[in-house]
């Protein structure tokens, strides 16, 4: 199954999402604030192997966020801190 990393954590400006999908997979991500509001959502389409996405968080409020990755229907979430 696919795995992903979100760095740097804590993040100040630009967050990198590194997604590793072992096969061609339909993928998207959503970033939620601490109370569950979706702040950013992006459909990545079909990805395979290592895929990098960059999120400009420089104007976002400081605090906790959750990055939810959906790959072929499989959901995984990471908590990140915005300074």
Euclidean distance between CA atoms 76 and 22, whole angstroms: 15
pLDDT of residue 24: 93
Regions of the chain short of the pLDDT cut 70:
none
3-state secondary structure of 36: coil
């Amino acid at each position: 199954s696919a795995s992903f990393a979100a760095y740097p954590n804590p993040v100040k400006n630009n967050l990198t999402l590194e997604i590793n999908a072992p096969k061609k997979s339909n993928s998207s991500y959503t970033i939620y604030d601490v109370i569950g509001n979706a702040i950013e959502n992006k459909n990545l389409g079909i990805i395979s192997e290592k895929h990098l996405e960059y999120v400009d968080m420089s104007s976002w409020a400081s605090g906790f966020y959750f990055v939810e990755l959906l790959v072929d229907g499989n959901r995984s979430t990471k908590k990140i801190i915005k300074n």
